[in-house]
Structure 1
């Protein structure tokens, strides 16, 4: 009987303990708000992936120092999309599995489009700081898809305006790698140049990835042109530049933003000198940018446009998450009133485009590129 009483008293104490524990409310730790970072973290476009990652991480660190989002800390998780469509969709699903509330990244439209569809279906906010192809927003893949990069269809117009000012009455060759981006850019620039009375000597495609473009260079030489406009990635542009100069041709070399990558300069060597290309340019002189510039100095990073647009995209994402209960509300906030960022007030149009950047010509001089004056 005593043994029974001991057992019963033990059970009673256990029940009492359970009752007390269930009556006392637990103070649960809040889960972090996760923001995904996506981009090419290796290979030919690693410069861009590095800059996207740096811009996001600095913005998140600043936000956390101010209390995060409603007291919840923000953390990041990054993935390498390799600038490929299949990989883009795969890593988008990986990020969803890690519970991301927003994604900043995807520089290449090939990866951004399929990834954007994944985010749209899941109701996750997506802002690209670098994908320029109009398709990203023109195809309306989701209400929560936004871009801080300038649309590439404005680049062709910038090239045509430069040609009109600098090569009026002179013959110009237009060559491209057959890609959606390269061909579209070159054909748009050629048409606009011709519409303004410019002399289009030739429009020619070439096979990308070749170690030599001897046949193409022969056609350029025969056309006796004063300038060559290239719609090509950095490695192919370097081959063309090197062979143009090797033949002693003094035609001006004009390209797209891929010529800004360090790989182009490394591969082209001296042939890169004087090459002109167009970069989307944002205003980095605003007072709001001071802390970002200091952080970049600490990290020994150049203040590139991609870092600035990635930082601003992250600020916009954080503001949207703080002001919206779901994706439609977050998207509505970004369209109006918009978010305060290092680039000033960022507001997106109905498609999801931001129009705060312009294309500015740059030129390689003495081992570095500088704005063309």
Structure 2
């Protein structure tokens, strides 16, 4: 049998193009008129691959459940098919795969995962009139671009990190606050909204430092921050780097409170930070899964299906898929314009809570949870609707 790897070695440029098109070729080769394709774009390789695969797995559960109901739309039986593509967490690749999904005539898209990939990709879907629901991207700019086809099923950075800023100023009562962010659309977006909220509630930002999402050494930034005698450090970025930051803080003898936004309150942070993680705080998106009516049931179903534990963004991927399924049923149509119109009117209760959207596509009933590391575990401190 002629292997794809052999083809790539002999024809490297053509091989790359073929590799990008394979998911779509496979779908089209066997597709029937009754097959309705829904796209999913997320990082399936690289640093965030675990989250991407978890989102895809969760969305597939929702699609499988819908197909088990034998959907009939417009008087014809249909079968939904999830077409997953790897954007590698790279904005350039995200635009390419977004166009591939459009060319493949998907009726809607779940994605993307990173804010930095979602922002440019949303423009591609918007021009094609294809609705996109992101299960994880939180930068406010995503829904501020005037597109009528963009939605998200979790809180924005304005809501979540704004709440963190208010908390730092009014509950922790920190007076001298420093910020360190990874300069991605996600991390910088978190930090910007945190800073706005802190200033509006009377506390002072004495230092704003930057790193990159590839960095592993934060000594220079933290040494400077330490010299300014801060009460609290806010980190805008994800779990792996957050763990390294707090570990280095304690090695330098810094006693300031460590506070992060979303994407940090998981086991990976504690594993990396070790004992230094104790007392760390993080405002994360949504409510604790175990506190939600169907949360535990969903986690058990996921593990039974895939043999692995559910990650934090999986429930949002499941809910995003179910919003699209319900919109297709409500519209009684597989036309993207009809689906988009139905999404605007949708009101359902998902795994993560009530789902309905403001006109700009933001979630109406967004929620956040404050966690603290106690005894080597993330423990819920408080929950509620975020607001500043």
TM range (shorter): 0.7 to 0.9
Quote the offset at 1:131 in angstroms.
0.9
Deviations 1:7-27 (A, max 9, x none): xxxxxxxxxxxxxxxxxxxxx
Deviations 1:73-101 (A, max 9, x none): 21212111111111111112232344422
Matched, 1:131 2:137: yes
Q: Which residue of 2 aligns with 1:196?
A: 201
Alignment partner of 2:263 out of 242, 258, 265:
258
Q: Which residue of 2 aligns with 1:43?
A: 46
Deviations 1:113-166 (A, max 9, x none): 22222222233221111111111111023x222111211111222112221344
CA, structure 1 residues 292+264, in 2 after alignment: closer, same or farther (shift >3 Å)? closer
Q: Which residue of 2 aligns with 1:280?
A: 285
Unaligned runs of 5+ in 1: 1-27
Report the 3-state secondary structure (helix = DSSP H, G, I; strand = E; otherwise coil) of the residue aligned with 1:75. strand
Quote the offset at 1:293 in angstroms.
4.1
Quote the offset at 1:67 in angstroms.
0.8
Q: Which residue of 2 aligns with 1:82?
A: 88
Report the RMSD for the aligned CA atoms in angstroms: 2.7
Contact 1:282 1:356 in 2 (8 A): no
* In 2: Cα distance, 1:101 partner to 1:83 partner: 23
Matched, 1:331 2:340: yes
Deviations 1:272-303 (A, max 9, x none): 33221111114755556676344124145545
* In 2: Cα distance, 1:29 partner to 1:115 partner: 28
Contact 2:250 2:276 in 1 (8 A): yes
Between the two proteins, the alignment pairs up a number of residues equal to 345
Contact 1:209 1:235 in 2 (8 A): no
CA, structure 1 residues 368+105, in 2 after alignment: closer, same or farther (shift >3 Å)? farther
Query: Which protein has the larger Cα radius of gyration, Structure 1 or Structure 2?
Result: 1
Alignment partner of 2:182 out of 163, 177, 181:
177
Deviations 1:35-94 (A, max 9, x none): 222111222212321221122111111111111343212121211111111111111223
Matched, 1:66 2:59: no
Quote the offset at 1:171 in angstroms.
2.7
Contact 2:176 2:230 in 1 (8 A): yes
Q: TM-score scaled to structure 2, two decimals?
A: 0.79
* In 1: Cα distance, 2:300 partner to 2:293 partner: 12
Q: Which residue of 2 aligns with 1:9?
A: none
Q: Which residue of 2 aligns with 1:359?
A: 368
Alignment partner of 1:313 out of 320, 326, 347:
320
Unaligned runs of 5+ in 2: 1-30, 383-388
Q: TM-score scaled to structure 1, two decimals?
A: 0.82
Alignment partner of 1:296 out of 297, 302, 313:
302
Matched, 1:57 2:63: no
